[in-house]
Structures are given as C-alpha cells and as structure tokens.
Chain A
C-alpha cells in the first residue's frame, strides 16, 4: 500500500513542479538555517571532557577585604597564589592542579625559524593525569619538579611538528626566554572545547603550545595572560604575595561524598584564614563542576543563541508557508480525492496517502537542508572567531537534520490532509 501511496505522491508532486519546488525550497532553507546554527550551538555548549567532567571541580573562596562588601556577592572567580598553593599542598583531592596562562618567547635552535611567541600554560604536575591528557612521547613532570622549579617543558604536538619535524624531541633542550628547558614530553592532539580550565584566555582558544611548571614560570616572571583581580594594596612586583586572584585551581573528586567533604574542607580553610586575619569576609565558598562552571560563565556567546532563535523563527515561517501551499495543493485535488472516497477509500487511507506526499516533500527538503547546512557550516568555518574551526556536522546532528525535516513537514501536512479528508465524496462527483 505504501508503495502505491509513494507512487501517487510522486505523480502528484511532478504535476505541479513550481509549487513542489517552492515547498521543498522553503523546507530546505528553514532546516538548513536551523541546523547550521544548532550545530554551532551544539559544538560550543558541548562537554569538554566527556565522562570525566562530572568529577572535576573548581574551588572558589573569598579572600578579599571588606571594601565594597555585599553579602550576596559571588566569590572571586580565581584564587591567590597563597591559597592556591595551600590547597595544592593539602592534597585533599585525588588530583589537584593550579594554573594560569601566558605567552613565552621561543628561540628555536634551528636558525631558519625566527624567535616567536607561543601561548603557554603554567601549571602543576597533576594537570596531565587529572585531565587525562594524551602523550605522544615522554610524560609530564612530577611534583618534585614543581617543588624544585625545574626547567622542564612539555610541548604540544603542533609545536613539536614545527620545531622538530614531528620527531621524538624528549630529552632535547629548548630555549625559552633565553633559558634552556629540557623537553620531557610531547602531547598528542588535544583540544578540549570549550577551553574550560581557563576561560580568561579565550573560551574556545586552542590548546597551548608549551606547558611549564607554574613555580618555574613565576620565579622567572614569565608574562601572565588572563584576568588579574586585585584589592587592598593590590598588584606588586611579587605575584606570590600580591592581594590578587589570578590562578585557576582544579581538583578531581570521584564521588559526591568526596565533593561534600572537600566543600567542608574549603569552609574550614576559609574560617581558619578569617581567624588568622588574612580573610576578612565571612566564608563564602563554591565548588562547581565543569558544566556548572561553564554555565556560570555563560561561555556560549549570546550572538550564537540569538542566531539559533532567528533560525527557528525562520523555520517557523517556512513551515507556515508550507502548510499554506500544501493546503492549496491538496484542496485543488478535491475532485480526485472525492472519486477515491466514492470508490471506497476510507478517510484514514486518504489521510495516509496525503501524509506520504508530505513526507516525500520533507525528505527531499531535508536533503536540500543538509546540503545548505553543510554550506552554512563551511561559511561559519571561514569566519575569524576562535571557535570557527570546530563547526562540523557530526552523525547525530546529520540524522537529526533528516528527522527534523520529515517531522516538521509531516506536522505541516496534518492540517491540509485533514481538511482534504473532510471533502464529502458525493458533492465532488456531482460538480464534476
């Protein structure tokens, strides 16, 4: 029966090519625009470390003085050197890493390459196991290297390709800001999206090229990038004692019980610091996990949300348009439908036949929409924003494109099909 309906649908669609093309085009444009913007949103609001992000937490506390204090204030988004180091050494979590971003001048041994700046991450040893960072060669450094401010460095795969032609460079020396650093590891390709661990150097920036122990970077006064929030006497030459928050702390807590215990530990730490007089405000701690932290910071640009709404508005207009056109198309065939009814076709089978026709329009429109979405994403990738390169359609989105097109067109076909089924058979026969 379905094959017969399909045949009828194709015949009917072929009969009025302009109207069919208009419907298909409207569906394709609406679906194409919606899927392009949805894919971008899907990529931007994704989980940076699937499977792990639920057990990674971002401790926050409030070390500021009472100047401008309001009880409902959120704690600062980063931690000071003193607090960061204290929590790092307390080792209350399975893993903990303190970090910030920066840029360092690299002086390649190969004189064919001029010195250049490379984005760097200054962090501590647990960074690599905690975020499950894949290594191509070698490994990360250890806590002893952190303690000794060792001159060790881990390179990204891209930088290793640039400097050493992709060969195993571990054990070699690299000149960074006129100092020799020993390469201990080379990462495999790794780009968590969003750049969740440090949103201050760009929410969607690519991975850093150089990883150096935080202690070494601070001792050598490497340039620090990102946010630096100060109070009281504020910045000083020595970032270790400055009353500024400028570091991100991440901890791994595997169970909710561990997370609750850690939150309690943070509260105790804050109270203790207040008793000592270092903190002045009442203890105010937060412990969001990765997705909570991303939500709090509203990392997805509002323009992207706006584009999604615009595209859905567009799709809605396209669907209303299709409903109108389909209504015209179905009612024009009143005569034919009346004859089929008179020959014994039930309303149900008529309804099924008309919906088949709508489904065919949806399928063709969906294919067109898919092509348009691919074109749209290609255009997005040519944009200069730092998330542009990530805009690719994955399999679930591809299937969703077809499903959305067919479901939308079937919905659009419901009203016209129902109206067409209400045609009394006798009247149609009489008037013809």
Chain B
C-alpha cells in the first residue's frame, strides 16, 4: 500500500492529527522523565547499607539526672553507667552481641567532618581530602552490625577508649570503609596515616571494611559510603546501643530489653520510639522516596490510559466519518485486512511524528529538571523504551476502531446519500 492516499487523507483533518501527535509527544516527555525519577528513587532505596540488616535493632535512651560531662569525674560516671547497660543487655536471652554506637546508617543523625591524607587540610581541594561521617563504637561493632572486614584487622578490646560527647580529641586508630580508603589511598590504606578535621595528629588506619552507609539517606553515591569507624565509647546523658539477636528472636528480645534496662537503672527515659528494629529505621528513611515513586507510577499509568482513550475516541470518530468511503473501497475490491492496515499505518504515521517531537520534549524537560532539581541526564535507553511503548500503545488503541472499520460491508457504498 502506498502512503500517498493516507497522507492526502490526513491533510483533510489537520486539527485532529496535530492534537493526537501533541498528546503523544507530551505523554512521552512526561512518562519518560517520571519513569526515570521512579528508577532513581528505587535505585536509591535499594542501595546496600553494608549491614546484615535482619535480627538487628537499636535502642536510644536518655538518663534522667545523669552527671554532667564537665563535672569532676562526670565522664567516668557516665561511662560506668553505659558499661552497666551493655553488660545487662548481653545477659538478655537470645542476644548475640551488643555495641554502643553514636548513630546508624539511615538514622539521619550524624557527626560529620573532613578526613585527609595530609595534615591541616580542610579546604576540600583535590583528592587528598574528603567528607566523612564518624561512627563511634567499640570492638563489638563489626559483629553486631554484620559489617565485613576486607583488609587489616578489627578493633580489639584493648583499642577501645571512652571520652565525653563534646570532647574533640582525635583517636589513635580508625577503620575506614573501602569507598573512603580507595579515595584517599588508591594503593592500600592499612598502616597509613590520616588526619581528621584539618588536624595535625596522624591517625593510623588499621583496617578496611567492605561497606557501611552514612546516616543520611539522601546523599549521592560519592558520599554515601564515606564512613570512618572510631573505637571510642562516647559518654553523654544519652546513649544508643545496637543489638544483634539470634535469627527469628528479634521481637522477643526487643520486648525484653526495656525491663532489663529499667532494672539496671529506673532513672531513664525509654519511650515507644526508643527501641526500633533496623527494618523500621530503613522504612522511615525511604518512605518519602517510595511515596514519590508510587505517585509518579500511578500518574504515568493514568496518563497512558487517557492518551490511549483519546486515540480510540478520535479514531472512532474518523471511522464513523469515513463510513461511506470505506464501503466504496471495499466495493472496489479492498480486503478487510487492507482497511485494517490503512488505519494502523495512519496511526503509526501520527504516533511516529508525535514521538519525534516527544523525544525532543523529553530531553528538553530533562534539561530543565536538571537545572532546577536534583536530577541526572536521562539515559537514552529510557527514551527509546518510551518511544517503543508509545508506538505500541498507539497500535493497541487503534486496533478496536480499525477492526470496526474493516467490518464495514461493501454494500454501504450503494446506500444512502
């Protein structure tokens, strides 16, 4: 079949053609970008924390009337209280290990600073310095969190010290994540010296762990795994404890820790939010991202339905309008399949011009989003998939009215007028 009669016919109803093409173009532009945003959000949600997340929970508690850090012996008293709690938690049945910790991945409460391979560098120029999050814990940290050591050694009991929460002293040794170690020391970090927060005191790297995410869930990949682990218990009027339980015993242990801690010392605040499983922490951190992804998904789906319905509506109208012409064609020898093909090719032409404009619009929209929001360039694969999807939807939508057209009997040509 030649295209000429189709093109000639299209010229007769420009307005309808332009409207369908425009609708397809806009839908393509919006859906491509929305699906790309959904993809980004899901990718972020699926980012591994580096932790063994099952059977893990966190206790956040505060003592009432605890000694001040700056009163004489205050820090030592606070540390003794913390050690008492840790010992009591280890006695709770089905607890595998317990570690004091200042924050957790995805908890959104962090202590951040700069880490450098040269002393006195805080200007964030070049590769020798980068941002990092500090995790303060003890020798039980790696087994409790399920973080894997890939080089050097883990902290042992002798490494662990304690200091007041506001004490800015640098530690002697640290463990880095692989992401951070590779950035600062591409040739292996174990045994090298790092300098924290622009200080001059060399701090030795004794080990490297595979991965441990920072507490802030929204960060880009370049900072998401920049964690520095410090073997120090922080002493303040509050403390956080990470607890790993035996498989399947999480709920029971979570219920048992509150009475166990009250037994040690009733002068503390432990409310509903104080004991949270890691699953809850993760859900809370990514709730907004998931909500946005679902919303975008629903809007895309409705948008595609509206566009498909629009194509069905307009093509139906054209079929009705050309009822007699179709009959004439059939009477002149056109087969049913020819009529069907006519409408399918017509739709392909309109949708084809629509997607060409749509691709331009999609790229333009992506550019605009990049300049206004946290977005990256849309991969061409998304656009191509979108193009194919739009063409397929066009064909699917045109099928029903086109079939109706092909069923117009040739006898129509002789009727009416």
Residues of A within 8 A of B (CB): 19, 22, 26, 29, 33, 67-68, 105, 107, 114-117, 177-178, 221, 223, 234-238, 302-303, 305-307, 310-311, 313-314, 316-318, 320-321, 323-325, 327-329, 331-332, 383-385, 415, 419
- B337 at interface (Cβ–Cβ under 8 A)? no
Residues A305 and B373 in contact, CB atoms below 8 Å apart: yes
Which one of B27, B122, B310, B373 lies within 8 Å of A306 (CB-CB)? B373
Q: Which residues of B contact A117 (CB under 8 A)?
A: 62, 269, 271
Q: Name the interface residues of B268-282: CB closer than 8 Å to any CB of A.
A: 268-269, 271
Residues of B within 8 A of A (CB): 15-16, 19-20, 22-23, 26-27, 29-30, 34, 37, 62, 64-65, 68-70, 122-123, 164, 166, 168, 237-238, 267-269, 271, 284, 287-288, 291-292, 295-296, 299, 302-303, 306-307, 309-310, 313-314, 316-318, 320-321, 369, 372-374
Bound CA–CA A208/B81 (angstroms): 30
Q: Which residues of B contact A223 (CB under 8 A)?
A: 62, 237-238
Residues A327 and B15 in contact, CB atoms below 8 Å apart: yes
Residues B22 and A302 in contact, CB atoms below 8 Å apart: no
Bound CA–CA A384/B284 (angstroms): 9
Bound CA–CA A243/B160 (angstroms): 30
Closest to A313 in B: B30
- Known A-B contacts A26-B306, A310-B299; A105 and B64 likewise in contact (beta carbons under 8 Å): yes
Which one of B34, B69, B291 lies within 8 Å of A310 (CB-CB)? B34
Closest to B30 in A: A313
Closest to B23 in A: A320
Interchain nearest-CB distance for B269 vs A (Å): 5
Closest to A19 in B: B313
Residues A68 and B123 in contact, CB atoms below 8 Å apart: yes
New contact pairs (17) apart from A235-B168, A383-B291, CB-CB < 8 Å: A22-B310, A29-B306, A68-B122, A105-B62, A107-B64, A237-B70, A238-B70, A307-B295, A310-B296, A310-B299, A314-B302, A320-B22, A321-B309, A323-B19, A328-B16, A328-B318, A383-B287
Q: Which residues of A contact B321 (CB under 8 A)?
A: 331-332
- Known A-B contacts A115-B269, A221-B68, A324-B23; A314 and B299 likewise in contact (beta carbons under 8 Å): yes
Residues A384 and B302 in contact, CB atoms below 8 Å apart: no
Which one of A19, A33, A320 lies within 8 Å of B299 (CB-CB)? A33
Bound CA–CA A385/B310 (angstroms): 36
Interchain nearest-CB distance for A162 vs B (Å): 13
5 closest A-B pairs by beta carbon, nearest first, are A328-B317, A178-B65, A237-B70, A324-B19, A321-B310
Which one of B19, B22, B65, B302 lies within 8 Å of A327 (CB-CB)? B19
Residues A235 and B19 in contact, CB atoms below 8 Å apart: no
Bound CA–CA A237/B317 (angstroms): 79
Q: Which residues of A contact B69 (CB under 8 A)?
A: 237
Q: Which residues of A contact B318 (CB under 8 A)?
A: 328
